[in-house]
């Protein structure tokens, strides 16, 4: 990780030395109560639920789910995600199911799980890594089809890697990379049919509404004219508790399907005019995607999670180094 | 960050040119060490050379 500060040289010289590595603090994971939490120093940054989380008592248990991120914390500790809001119990922080699909001649919806046609669930961890530069886990997600005869079948295996880079001490931002490698779990293909939402979604903090949050995309679109447009990145930010502010820059990798990716963004009239915040890179918003057996399909996203305000210049810089990593000479 | 003392053997040197504006955002960098053929038991460290001083930097 090349640390940055204003006025620093563009050229950085390094030497690999035959000596014991210097001591530096690690970014670590804590496995507790069915969730893995990534922690830097005394700051919680991100929690991933591998246990199945049920909806509140009295709500249809079809809404239960595992394999999602919540909370994602701002560097100053505010929660930026929300799960099981009363308006959409199937919203789970940061999660990525497909909505309108065709599998073995049945229409399957992995997003709207109340209908019990499909769901996505945690199967196992392949690896969990701690260290001075990043903490990371790779989890196997099964995209499960509930068949009409009562049986179930895994349509899609997804290896999801979540890497959180160690923020500098007192830094007001940190970087998260989320990579999904998808492959058909059987000899049956999965057709993801164009639909207005689906894929990498973020249901944001309930603290935000139409009066205290905003959006800006790489193409200069703002909240009320973003939905349905395509973007390389999207800043979502607003006021936060403690007389603070912050948000996330969501970035799409150039090799992603249908990049620059279509966005599904709730405008200011969302949820009866309250203006709750939901943001979604939806690569199949305007285009089908056929996933064929024997092939692997990769989607990469980077999040810059911050306190304070982010502007277009900073988001563009961050995206440039995500899209085209630097090479050493 | 601490300066690295002594005269540890240099296994490799490299430069990274951040030709684009960073606007104060850290840049994750990954480099393959496969060509160096370093023994898996060798202890090594990474230093940034700043004003002729070697400053230890985190790596994995």
Region of residue A284 (left: phi > 0; alpha: psi -120 to 50; beta: else): alpha
Instruction: Give φ, ψ of A2 to 5 degrees.
Output: -90, 115
Cβ distance of A2 and B19 shorter than 8 Å: no
> Complex ipTM, two decimals?
0.89
* Interface membership of A312 toward B (CB under 8 Å): no
Is pLDDT of B2 > 50? no
Distance (Å) of CA A304 to CA A55, A177, A257: 29, 9, 21
- pLDDT tens for each residue of A166-219: 998 889 999 999 999 999 999 999 999 999 999 999 999 999 999 999 999 999
Is pLDDT of B36 > 90? no
The CB density around residue A3, as the number of other CB atoms within 10 Å, is 16
Model pLDDT, residue A226: 95
CB-CB neighbors (< 8 A) of B30 in chain A: 325
Q: What is the mean pLDDT of residues A14-29?
A: 85
The alpha carbon dihedral of A258, A120, A67, A216 has a sign of positive
Instruction: Give φ, ψ of A237 to 5 degrees.
Output: -150, 165
Query: Å from A86 to nearest chain B CA?
Result: 37
- Which three-class secondary structure state does DSSP give residue A120? strand
Instruction: Give φ, ψ of A322 to 5 degrees.
Output: -75, -45
Cβ distance of A21 and B56 shorter than 8 Å: yes
- The CA distance from A273 to A187, in Å, is 45
Which residues, 6+ apart, have CB-to-CB distance to A187 below 8 Å?
Answer: A293
pTM over 0.90: yes
Query: Å from B50 to nearest chain A CA?
Result: 8
Cβ distance of B45 and A24 shorter than 8 Å: no
The alpha carbon dihedral of A108, A194, A81, A161 has a sign of positive
């Amino acid at each position: 990780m090349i640390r940055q500060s204003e006025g620093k040289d563009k050229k950085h010289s390094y030497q690999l030395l035959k000596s014991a590595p210097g001591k530096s603090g690690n970014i670590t994971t804590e496995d507790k109560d069915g969730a893995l939490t990534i922690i830097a120093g005394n700051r919680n940054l991100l929690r991933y639920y591998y246990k199945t989380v049920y909806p509140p008592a009295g709500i249809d248990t079809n809404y239960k789910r595992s394999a999602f991120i919540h909370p994602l914390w701002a560097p100053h500790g505010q929660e930026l995600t929300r799960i099981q809001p009363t308006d959409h119990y199937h919203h789970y922080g940061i999660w990525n199911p497909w909505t309108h699909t065709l599998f073995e001649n049945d229409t399957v919806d992995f997003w709207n799980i109340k209908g019990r046609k499909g769901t996505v669930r945690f199967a196992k961890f392949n690896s969990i890594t701690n260290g001075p530069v990043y903490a990371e886990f790779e989890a196997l997600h099964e995209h499960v089809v509930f068949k009409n005869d009562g049986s179930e079948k895994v349509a899609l295996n997804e290896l999801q890697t979540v890497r959180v880079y160690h923020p500098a001490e007192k830094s007001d931002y940190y970087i998260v990379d989320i990579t999904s490698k998808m492959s058909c779990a059987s000899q049956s293909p999965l057709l993801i049919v164009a639909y207005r939402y689906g894929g990498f979604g973020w249901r944001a903090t309930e603290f935000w509404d139409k009066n205290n949050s905003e959006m800006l995309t790489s193409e200069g679109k703002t909240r009320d004219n973003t939905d349905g447009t395509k973007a390389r990145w999207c800043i979502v930010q607003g006021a936060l508790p403690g007389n603070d502010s912050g948000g996330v820059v969501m970035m799409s990798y150039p090799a992603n399907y249908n990049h620059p990716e279509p966005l599904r963004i709730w405008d200011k009239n969302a949820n009866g005019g309250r203006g709750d915040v939901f943001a979604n890179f939806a690569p199949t918003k305007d285009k089908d995607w056929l996933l064929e057996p024997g092939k692997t399909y990769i989607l990469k996203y980077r999040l810059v999670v911050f306190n304070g305000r982010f502007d277009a210049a900073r988001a563009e810089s961050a995206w440039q180094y995500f899209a085209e990593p630097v090479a050493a000479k | 960050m601490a300066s690295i003392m002594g005269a540890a053997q240099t296994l490799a040197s490299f430069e990274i040119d951040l030709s684009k504006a960073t606007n104060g955002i850290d840049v994750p960098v990954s480099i393959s060490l496969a060509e160096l053929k370093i023994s898996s038991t060798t202890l090594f460290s990474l230093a940034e050379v700043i004003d002729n001083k070697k400053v230890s930097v985190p790596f994995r």
